[in-house]
């Protein structure tokens, strides 16, 4: 008999781990809905004065310790048209930067968002129409 008081509520079969994964997914979606504010603004005397964003990566099981991505823009005239990215795998993370033109930085950012979306759908075994290629 459905609708009876002793029937489990919809979704009550979800484990705590599944609930945590879904909350992480929802938070990650919320975090991509608007542009983040800079983590810090480096002053004029800094080697790379300007806005800086840092992202603490939640590590995959095989990595130990914090993994930080650093993204900077520089307020100096000769380099203000470039986005600088330092990955946790750089020789000196936070000090070694790869320069990207803004168009390339946007393309990488959009590819990361698309790949993250695809990975979340694959992990949840939810097929997406846009994953099907037309013949």
Residue pLDDT, tens place only, 99-117:
999 999 999 999 998 888 8
pLDDT at 33: 65
Mean pLDDT of 75-92: 92
Q: Give the C-alpha distances (Å, rounded to integers) separating 109 from 1, 59, 102.
A: 50, 19, 10
pLDDT at 135: 45
Q: Which residues contact 73 (CB under 8 A, 6 or more apart)?
A: 50, 51, 80, 82, 83, 84
Query: What values do phi and psi take at 122, rounded to 5?
Result: -65, -40
What SS3 state is found at 59?
Answer: coil
> Which two three-digit tokens encode residue 3?
């609708």
Instruction: Note the residue count of the chain.
Output: 135
Q: Give the C-alpha distances (Å, rounded to integers) separating 67 from 15, 63, 119.
A: 29, 8, 20
- Which is more confident, 69 or 133? 69
Q: What is the C-alpha separation between 2 and 10, in angstroms, rounded?
A: 11
Q: What is the C-alpha separation between 20 and 14, in angstroms, rounded?
A: 10
- Which is more confident, 29 or 47? 47
- Count other C-beta atoms under 10 Å from residue 127's C-beta: 10
The model carries a pTM of 0.67
Q: Helices (H), strands (E): how many in the chain?
A: 2, 5
């Amino acid at each position: 008999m459905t609708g009876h008081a002793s029937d489990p509520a919809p979704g009550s079969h979800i484990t705590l781990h599944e609930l945590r994964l879904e909350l992480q997914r929802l938070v990650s979606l919320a975090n991509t809905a608007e542009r983040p504010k800079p983590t810090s603004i480096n002053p004029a005397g800094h080697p790379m004065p300007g806005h800086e964003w840092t992202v603490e990566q939640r590590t995959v099981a095989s990595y130990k310790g914090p993994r930080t991505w650093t993204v900077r823009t520089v307020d100096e005239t000769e380099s203000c048209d470039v986005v600088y990215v330092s990955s946790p795998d750089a020789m000196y993370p936070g000090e070694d930067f790869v320069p990207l033109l803004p168009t390339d930085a946007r393309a990488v950012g959009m590819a990361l968002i698309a790949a993250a979306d695809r990975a979340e759908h694959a992990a949840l075994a939810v097929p997406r129409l846009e994953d099907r290629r037309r013949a």
